[in-house]
Amino acid sequence: MTTPHRPTQSSTMTAICFAEPGGPDVLHCETLPIPQPGRGEVLVRVQAAGVNRPDLMQRAGLYPPPPGANPRLGLEIAGEIVACGAPLEGTPMPDIGSSVCALANGGGYADYCLVPAGQCLPWPKGFDAIQAATLPETFFTVWSNLFMPAPPAVGQRVLIHGGSSGIGVTAIQLVRAFGAIPYVTVGSAEKCALCEQLGAVAINYREEDFATRLRELTDGVGVNLILDMIGGAYFDRNIKSLAQDGRLVIIALQGGAKAEQADLARIMTRRLIVTGSTLRGRDTATKARIARELHAQVWPLLASGTIRPRIDTVLPFSKAAEAHQMMEDGKHLGRIILVPDASA
């Protein structure tokens, strides 16, 4: 059994909180007790935390945390382990003092954060805290939805909506690394250029219909797999864009939860699969399994530089509202990262 260590002489920490749902301006700093790790948990001194779309949705009251999750914002962190709870059978506990990035169950916008040990990963070789904090939420999401139980076959076509987002940039690089061909939709020439630099075929959805353009680009065949974060507004065009035996994976509903049109006959005759998932509600054992696969198959690609994070802006925790506004404005190219004010 690992003996818990006191993380600091202080018993309190600074955390970003909000009392009622609303716009970015509801975010504020509070002083809270430093939590202590329970069985199977580690306490991480946070050195950087990623800002993600689910954080904005939760702040707005549109994405409540699942039962038992930390109700505060922040789903991915990087930092130093300063305390461990009693181990769970079959779950190795990281060493005190080790540098990890982790998929948190909430509470990452704080000086300290509790995380299940199985959701921690070491920093890839050559990474610092800011780079490592870009990894958990996006890589867990992309890997679990596109690569489990098996990655797309070499040469298959994968359409990724929101190609310049954190999810999109991650998906482009992973799809290319495993030999498939990424196509993306984005909303500006600048974002098209970024995605093309990463190796994707980019479609500006503000200038042309992506389904029509895909038919042209694929000689009418379509794509084999779609990673969609728009939902209802894109459903019919997504179905029209899939090749025989294609699969549509819905991971967010930025364009609405209902589709006015659904060509069920096309789904049947072309043997299409429509599925969806959320990450936060999955159990700890599932998240730990995703972490193990990432460590074995993706972390070497990060260490070698085959896949690289892209960072747009780094802000102190006290400017969390500004970070949320930047993401809502949608002009960023890469990840937005928060760091403790003392290190900003």
User: What is the tens place of the pLDDT at every residue in 283-341?
Assistant: 999 999 999 999 999 999 999 999 999 999 999 999 999 999 999 999 899 999 999 99
Q: Where are the domains of the chain?
A: 141-276
In this structure, the number of other CB atoms found within 10 A of the CB of residue 92 comes to 10
Q: How many helices (H) and strands (E) does the chain have?
A: 11, 15
Write the pLDDT tens digit of every residue in 152-193.
999 999 999 999 999 999 999 999 999 999 999 999 999 999
Write the pLDDT tens digit of every residue in 280-299.
989 999 999 999 999 999 99
The answer to whether 46 and 112 are in contact (CB under 8 A) is: yes
The answer to whether 335 and 131 are in contact (CB under 8 A) is: no
Confidence at residue 187, expressed as pLDDT on a 0 to 100 scale: 95
Domain 141-276 has CATH 3.30.930.10: no
Q: Where are the beta strands (DSSP E) in the chain?
A: 12-17, 28-33, 41-50, 76-84, 99-103, 112-116, 120-122, 157-161, 181-186, 201-204, 223-228, 242-250, 273-276, 311-316, 335-339
What is the C-alpha separation between 101 and 45, in angstroms, rounded? Answer: 11
- Tell me the three state secondary structure of residue 294: helix
The answer to whether 162 and 233 are in contact (CB under 8 A) is: no
Write the pLDDT tens digit of every residue in 49-72.
999 999 999 999 999 999 989 999
